[in-house]
Structure 1
Amino acid sequence: MTHETTVDDILNLSDSALVQFLQKARNPMGNFDGLKIQGWENASPAKKELLGEKLRTAVKQVTAAPLDIEELAARLTAAAAAMDTPSRPSRGRSLTLSPEPRIIEDFESACYHELIEDGGRPPFPLSRLEEVLNDPESHHELLRPWVQDLRSRSRDDGQAISRERDRWLDFRKWQLDNRGIAADEGFPEYLEAKRRDYKAMKASELTDDPEFEDTMRRRWERERGNCQQQQDRNDRGVEIFSAYAEVAKRRLADHGFTQPLQLEEDPKRQDQWTTWVEYLEFEYWWLDRLTSSVKSLQSQHDMACKTLTAAKVLKGTEREEDLVTTEAEQRRKTEANEATLALCLAEEASTLVQQATNTRKRYKASRGAQKLGAAKELIDVTRRNEAIGEFMRKTEKYRAVQASEQRQLYKVQWVLQQVSEIKAAQILPPREEKPKLTEGGKRMRQGDDGALPRSNVKRRKEKHGEEDTAGALLGSEAAPVTKQRSARIRGTSTADAVPIPARTSATSRQRQSRRTAAAPSRERLKSLRPRDAGGRVKPLGRPEST
């Protein structure tokens, strides 16, 4: 059956409607051979790029097989190439971009700076970008919130910064939607961001396309529609900010987040912590939506599990997670090929035995039993693979939604960590000022008011012999000392000078007591001075008469 449509029809479809259309266009083998898109060869590069992105997103929801996406892209590209003359290659742009590693690094770097400027928090420092891009496997835990498929590994997993940037833009649109802000507000920033994206990926021809802005506006409107909040039944359709704020608080409380939250009608007036708590509520909303989808598909999944168990084709302790891996699927294909080959060999051997006239009957019977055993093995393998394949098809959507739920849970945990770090940074006490050091590197003692003691100033002045050293070190406190000393040097009266305040600190008194205790008494000094013949103390500095 052929399913025909046009480029514009697909672009006008909502995401859910496009998924339903692709489900109908998909044949029993899981391919899209019956899908024909008219107008592809005449579409502008910007439309082709938008169409490709929209189709890839929808196909991922229809099937988890990545080859089908490439096949669809190849079919559309081939259709465009068929319209060109054989003498020249097609100038149509492929739906899947394969930028060089340097281009990817530049693009991720641009997204990093855009995140920082808009209040986002990149998942890792820019200095680690190259190592993450080169070896995403070693950074799997760091990248888990941003990988596209947790069930497999990809070289693209390292492009986490751009994915977080896209998610942050979705949140910013969410903020506008739930405040009733005009639809066009925020589009200029969105358009400029897309221009930077394509230029960073060396795709400037897309930005130069006359239809680029119109195409980006349609994408903007579609993404805004996807990001609109679907409230609880009683609140659905309510776009009043006060109602949104109450629903946000209730959702946060349902998930155990009870810290006070005061959202602003103008999101630009919010501090960083409030904005990130609102971002947390945004991610909680997606988690609730995915959890609800998993629950709605649970009964269908359980029924498929019972049917598979009743078929008795599982080996030993095989579980569902053992069947859905790429390795398990490849192993089943290998078993089927080996069983088919064994049967072919048995049939060939049986034919040769039948043609031999002098072969004993016992040998003929042995070859017949071998052929029968190979046929039975092939039947068992085929029956097992068909039962598992049927189970995989019936539970495919359940597994995809469950994987999205798990990835969303990692994302919520990451946002929670960011909220905690922002809160901790806001309540940290101010750093204490380091004590001042002397020129020799020793600490200078300070009084209760933060001023340096005058004893240090005195030693500094004695060391350098400069009159204004104290003023330079102590500022206004040293002014009285300098002023009085300057008056004495000039020979003027010190009556007008500011008197030196008396030292009253405990430290000064203790030093004075130690000097007094250590000094010899006046009488003791007199007893040590020389005396004359009459026993009188000789005056100092007077030479003896000869």
Structure 2
Amino acid sequence: MLPQDPDTTALSVEDVNALSDAALADFMKRNRRSDGVIELPVDGWDTLSKDERNRLAERLINQERALAQSPTWHSCPLDPKKLNARLQEVLSDNPNTGPSSQPQIMERSRSPTVPIDEDDDSRRRETMAYNDLVKHGGRPLYPIELLDKVSRDPERYDDLLRPWKAPTGTTNKCWDDRDTWSPWEVFQRQWWRWREFRDWQRDNRGQEDEGGYSEYVEQRKLFTKREFTKNGCARELAKIKADPLYLMSGWNSMRTQRELQQYYCVELHGGDFSDYVNAVRRRLARHGFTRPFQLQENLSHQDKLSTWIEYLNFEYWWLDRYTRSTERLKLEHDKAWQQLVDRGAVRPGETEEYFRTFTSAMKRQAEEDQALEAVQRATATGKQDYYLTQLSPGRQSIPKPERIRLLREATHKVLTAKAKRESITKRNDLISDFLLGTYDFKMAKEDVANLETLLPWVLQQIPLIEAEVSQLRPYEDKSRGRKRRPDFDSDISLKRTSKTPKLAHQETCSLPSKPTATQLRGNKPNDLVSFAIDDESSLITRAVASPTRPSRKPLAVCQAKPQQLRRSARIAARQIVRTMEVT
């Protein structure tokens, strides 16, 4: 298929974001130039925040890769050197991408570019996510004071980051959740996940979201002021003011995602709140968790420990779902692999893991390019021999048997080269079809592995929460009869409020205080050291960065005065901090 003339009809960046994958692919096809470069006429690209730009860029790159798998997509072969450069830029998040390396965004108006320190911007976002997480009852992985050191040398803190360094879910999502954060940007990942859990809590209690479109607009204004450049912010706010329905498409998209989430991503208890509690009890028991706990239908009445145990069940729910997906997809995967072997596409020593590497992709592309060049050379030689033996005025000087031999050899070379190219192309297509067809299985396995790494950390927070609650209880007793101490778990609406709740319901069951072998499966013995460090880090987090005093300055040490620890805890805390700060 030859490239079409580009379609210069401009779309707003909001319209492009709202396109389905199929529609986005079609939009890219219609804006491909004759030289193969994709130029997308999009208005407002510079108004997007960093996260939004990254997510849209990821979608564009994924669609370009998918289109590149089609034999009809290329009017000329891909240049391996250019492909290598393009992928290296993508992997290194290089913003200075060349004109032929990825889909281009054509903007109708541009403003002078202000240099941005990406690392500083990421640390700023991490600080904001940390504060949001603490404010709404979550538990940051480590103290905010270590952010600067962790961000500058994440490999040194690999053990500390391990529970949250990988995405917590990439398959079977009921809504768009593309994790584009770096491995060290754990607070943003934690905050996103905690918001999902808070939605889960309300959905399983039958509580509707409130606020509507007007509140969504106000939140978008705040987001714009916080995330956009000065000029981009001014333009975006002007558009919102001029058109009250300017953000309606984004609102409708969010509502669609929430409806899918509310329908598919809940415990299948089939009844009222008591049935939900029983479902939680059964799931936790299946995973060996038998400590007593209680849930409240009115979330403002639920204590911190019960909320964390409910969060534990939330992660187990996703683990069970990913496990079922892996088991279901494994049959299809094994069948597809056997078919690939039976068709002779797998050479000795090659494995599925090898096929998914960058090296394998480059090698297959190079083989196909070389085969095409061989066809072109053989065809050129054949045309030359045909001219010499059939059309040249001096052809009679060549004996007829020699002319016949030359034609036969030229024909044989062309046919051989074409057959080899066809064989290589067919093999590459079979491998590509296998990789694309089994991608969900690969991701489901990764999801299971990532959650099996995260869950031990979740379990280890329970005794820490109990210790925190027991330390606060004497102060709560003294304050009775006076103003009630704020409950961190009471502020769980995240800008949403629920309907009037029914009477509180409590349910108890019994659970072990320590993770079982099943809960720790998938973790190496030496990982226990990192988990111990994480435990101490959590203690420091609770003491130094109290939820009531989040960090107020990005990239700076929190100014909150730490609560006094017991002597043994102070000694342990100093030892852990000293260990982490060793050069």
Q: Could you say whether these structures have the same fold, taking a TM-score greater than 0.5 normalized by the shorter chain as the test?
A: yes
Query: How much does 1:278 deviate?
Result: 0.8
Query: How much does 1:217 deviate?
Result: 5.9
Q: Point out which structure has higher relative CO (alpha carbons under 8 A, 6+ apart).
A: 2
1:179 aligns to 2:205 (yes or no): yes
Query: Residue 457 of structure 2 aligns with which residue?
Result: 414
Query: How much does 1:304 deviate?
Result: 1.5
1:353-502 matches, within 5 Å, as: 377-423=420-466
Distance in 2 between residues matched to 1:154 and 1:372, nearest whole Å = 47
1:32-70 deviation line (CA, Å, top 9, x unaligned): 42599xxx9789998999997997798899898699999
Quickly say closer, same or farther: Cα 1:173–1:91, change in 2 above 3 A. Answer: farther
Query: Residue 113 of structure 1 aligns with which residue?
Result: 131
1:130 aligns to 2:148 (yes or no): yes
1:391-438 deviation line (CA, Å, top 9, x unaligned): 12322333334433433443334323333543466679x9xxxxxxxx
| Contact 2:140–2:190 (Cα < 8 Å) also in 1 | yes
Distance in 2 between residues matched to 1:324 and 1:338, nearest whole Å = 21
Query: Residue 319 of structure 2 aligns with which residue?
Result: 287
Quickly say closer, same or farther: Cα 1:349–1:326, change in 2 above 3 A. Answer: same
- 5+ long unaligned stretches in structure 2: 33-40, 70-89, 91-96, 172-178, 390-396, 474-583
SS in 1 for 2:182: helix
1:147 aligns to 2:166 (yes or no): yes
Distance in 1 between residues matched to 2:346 and 2:373, nearest whole Å = 23
Query: How much does 1:226 deviate?
Result: 4.6
Distance in 1 between residues matched to 2:163 and 2:182, nearest whole Å = 12
Query: Residue 235 of structure 1 aligns with which residue?
Result: 269
Distance in 1 between residues matched to 2:138 and 2:310, nearest whole Å = 13
1:214-258 deviation line (CA, Å, top 9, x unaligned): 77865664554354374889734x4x3222222111121222222
| Contact 2:10–2:42 (Cα < 8 Å) also in 1 | no
SS in 1 for 2:183: helix
Query: Residue 352 of structure 2 aligns with which residue?
Result: 320
1:447-480 deviation line (CA, Å, top 9, x unaligned): xxxxxxxxxxxxxxxxxxxxxxxxxxxxxxxxxx
With the length of structure 1 as denominator, give the TM-score of the two structures.
0.55
| Contact 2:126–2:188 (Cα < 8 Å) also in 1 | yes
Name the amino acid aligned to 1:263: L
With the length of structure 2 as denominator, give the TM-score of the two structures.
0.52
Distance in 2 between residues matched to 1:224 and 1:92, nearest whole Å = 38
Distance in 1 between residues matched to 2:381 and 2:212, nearest whole Å = 75
Distance in 2 between residues matched to 1:266 and 1:60, nearest whole Å = 45
1:266-321 deviation line (CA, Å, top 9, x unaligned): 32333322211111111222222333333343333233212101111212132212
Distance in 2 between residues matched to 1:382 and 1:230, nearest whole Å = 41
Distance in 1 between residues matched to 2:466 and 2:131, nearest whole Å = 23
- 5+ long unaligned stretches in structure 1: 431-546
Quickly say closer, same or farther: Cα 1:423–1:251, change in 2 above 3 A. Answer: same
SS in 1 for 2:29: coil
| Contact 1:10–1:51 (Cα < 8 Å) also in 2 | no
Q: What count of residue pairs does the alignment treat as equivalent?
A: 400
Quickly say closer, same or farther: Cα 1:134–1:343, change in 2 above 3 A. Answer: farther
| Contact 2:217–2:247 (Cα < 8 Å) also in 1 | yes
Distance in 1 between residues matched to 2:464 and 2:267, nearest whole Å = 35
Q: Max radius of gyration: which structure?
A: 1
Query: How much does 1:333 deviate?
Result: 0.9
Query: Residue 495 of structure 1 aligns with which residue?
Result: none
SS in 2 for 1:180: coil
Distance in 1 between residues matched to 2:183 and 2:134, nearest whole Å = 21
Query: How much does 1:207 deviate?
Result: 6.3
| Contact 1:146–1:411 (Cα < 8 Å) also in 2 | no
Distance in 1 between residues matched to 2:61 and 2:447, nearest whole Å = 12
Quick one: which of 347, 358, 369 aligns to 1:337? 369
Quickly say closer, same or farther: Cα 1:98–1:386, change in 2 above 3 A. Answer: farther
Query: Residue 497 of structure 1 aligns with which residue?
Result: none
1:6-32 deviation line (CA, Å, top 9, x unaligned): 98997998xxxx75xx347746xxx84
Query: Residue 452 of structure 1 aligns with which residue?
Result: none
1:201 aligns to 2:220 (yes or no): no
Q: RMSD in angstroms over aligned alpha carbons? A: 5.7
